[in-house]
């Protein structure tokens, strides 16, 4: 059978950012299978830990090299980049150990933000949203986090550049490394992700301010397209921020021993941020809808003005056309045909009728 071509509309609206996906196979629950974009990123493992007087960041060649490091009681942050190597993910899941359902969610990059509590660890799924510098499209990536007693493992689709400032904070504050417990690091990662939501909304707000004046002065099809893109970004954000608020609320109120009372205060703070973001998103969605209505109203008003001018011109020429038609008939015996001033009289009557109609239009305020 011939495959149907993908609709251009479906491609433009990026349905993969809205719809969850499955492998499509009749696999049993807990089957680890990568679901997401095909990326040219190899799987790497980096470990950030505290040395004698410095923060060390080293690359690990294989999962077996993690065994001696995990046995050490010092805090460590393990970054796994690239999720397409399912075999390596299975080895990590067996080493920790991590529940197979959690590993299945890690490999499926279309999961919604969520948190699950287990006896020995907490599993968190976050969604980062960043703007692509050239196209300004929203790039959504999944970040899966396993928080244990003395370790935190984060799984990334691409190199975690957005968390580099967090690493720099650890380097600068090496003497206060005791502050970076797994639950505090979990908070710090959530905080960075949520800060990026604010940046996205600031970009949308600036774009709305830019479009607003153009809509009134010179509305165009490009304005309509920009408004549509803005609404699409806002729907992306709304789809992600709502479950993120629930996630942070759960971490704020949980009694799990891995979340200390000190960290709950921080989670309460970013929970307020998510509420603020949701309120802002709702306001921007309403504003963008009003902008679309304004665009349609402005275009309709311009069309009405054009039609009014054309109608006035048509009305002015109707009596002139009537007179020209009457005196243009080819009858042999015709009144005023031999009149010396017939031509000038014709134009005089036409001009008087035109002036009278213009005065009438002005009096009725149709002009």
At 181-190, the pLDDT tens digits run 899 999 999 9
Burial of 32 (0-12, 13-18, 19+ CB in 10 A): buried
User: For the chain, what is the mean pLDDT?
Assistant: 83
Q: Beta strands of the chain (E only): which ranges?
A: 44-50, 55-60, 76-81, 114-117, 122-131, 138-147, 151-156
Instruction: Give the separation between CA 137 and CA 228, rounded to whole angstroms.
Output: 12
Where do you find CATH 1.20.58.340 in the chain?
Answer: 298-363
- Which of 179, 191, 196 has the alpha carbon at shortest distance from 237? 196
Mean pLDDT along residues 184-199: 93
Percent of the chain with pLDDT over 70: 89
pLDDT-derived band of residue 78, with 50, 70 and 90 as boundaries?
very high
Tell me: the pLDDT tens digits for 107-147? 999 899 999 999 999 999 999 998 877 777 788 899 999 99
Q: What is the pTM of this model?
A: 0.78
Strand order in the sheet with 55-60: 55-60, 44-50, 76-81, 151-156, 138-147, 122-131, 114-117
Instruction: Compute the half-sphere exposure of residue 340: CA atoms within 13 Å on the CB side of its CA.
Output: 0
SS3 40: coil
Q: Residue 170 pLDDT > 50, yes or no?
A: yes
Task: Specify the domain boundaries for CATH 3.30.460.20 within the chain.
Answer: 8-297
Q: Which whole number is the average pLDDT over 169-194?
A: 82
pLDDT value at residue 25: 66
Predicted pLDDT at 74: 80
pLDDT of residue 6: 44
**What average pLDDT does range 21-50 have in this prediction?**
78
Whether pLDDT at 228 is above 50: yes
Residue 113: per-residue pLDDT: 94
Mean pLDDT of 154-170: 90
pLDDT 10s digits, 295-352: 888 788 888 888 888 888 888 888 888 888 877 777 777 777 777 777 788 888 888 8
Look at residue 258 in the predicted model and tell me its pLDDT.
Answer: 93
State mean pLDDT over 287-298: 82
Number of Cβ within 10 Å of residue 161's Cβ equals 9
Q: In the predicted model, is pLDDT for residue 154 greater than 90?
A: yes
Give the pLDDT band of residue 11 (cuts 50, 70, 90): very low
Instruction: Give the model's confidence band at 2: pLDDT under 50 very low, under 70 low, under 90 confident, else very high.
Output: very low
CA–CA dist 157, 287 (Å, integer): 34
Residue 280's pLDDT is 92
Domain 298-363, CATH:
1.20.58.340
**Positive or negative, the Cα torsion across 240, 243, 244, 245?**
positive
pLDDT bin (cut points 50, 70, 90) of residue 21 is low
Q: Which CATH architecture group holds 8-297?
A: 2-Layer Sandwich (3.30)
């Amino acid at each position: 059978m011939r495959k149907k071509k993908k609709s251009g509309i479906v491609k433009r609206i990026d349905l993969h950012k809205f719809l969850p996906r499955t492998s499509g196979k009749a696999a049993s629950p807990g089957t680890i299978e990568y679901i997401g974009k095909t990326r040219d990123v190899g799987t790497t493992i980096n470990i950030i830990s505290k040395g004698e007087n410095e923060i060390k960041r080293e690359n690990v060649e294989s999962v077996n090299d993690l065994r001696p490091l995990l046995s050490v009681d010092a805090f460590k942050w393990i970054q796994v980049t690239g999720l397409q190597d399912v075999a390596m993910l299975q080895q990590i899941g067996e080493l920790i150990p991590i529940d197979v359902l959690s590993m299945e969610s890690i490999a499926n990059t279309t999961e919604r933000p969520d948190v699950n509590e287990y006896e020995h660890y907490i599993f968190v799924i976050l969604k980062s949203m960043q703007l692509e510098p050239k196209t300004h499209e929203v790039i959504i990536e999944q970040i899966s986090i396993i928080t244990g007693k003395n370790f935190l493992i984060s799984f990334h689709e691409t190199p975690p550049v957005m968390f580099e400032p967090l690493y720099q904070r650890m380097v600068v504050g090496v003497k206060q490394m005791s502050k970076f417990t797994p639950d505090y690091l979990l908070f710090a990662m959530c905080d960075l992700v949520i800060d990026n939501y604010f940046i996205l909304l600031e970009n949308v707000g600036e774009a709305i301010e830019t479009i607003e004046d153009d809509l009134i002065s010179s509305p165009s099809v490009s304005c309509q397209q920009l408004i549509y893109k803005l609404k699409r970004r806002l729907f992306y954000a709304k789809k992600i921020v709502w479950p993120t608020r629930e996630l942070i609320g759960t971490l704020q109120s949980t009694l799990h021993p891995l979340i200390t009372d000190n960290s709950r205060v921080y989670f309460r703070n970013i929970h307020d941020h998510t509420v603020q973001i949701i309120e802002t998103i709702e306001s921007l969605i309403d504003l963008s809808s009003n902008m679309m209505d304004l665009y349609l109203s402005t275009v309709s008003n311009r069309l009405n003005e054009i039609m009014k001018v054309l109608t006035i011109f048509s009305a002015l020429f109707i009596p002139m056309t009537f007179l020209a038609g009457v005196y243009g008939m080819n009858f042999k015996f015709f009144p005023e045909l031999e009149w010396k001033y017939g031509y000038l009289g014709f134009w005089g009557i036409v001009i008087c009728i035109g002036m009278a109609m213009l005065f009438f239009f002005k009096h009725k305020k149709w002009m």
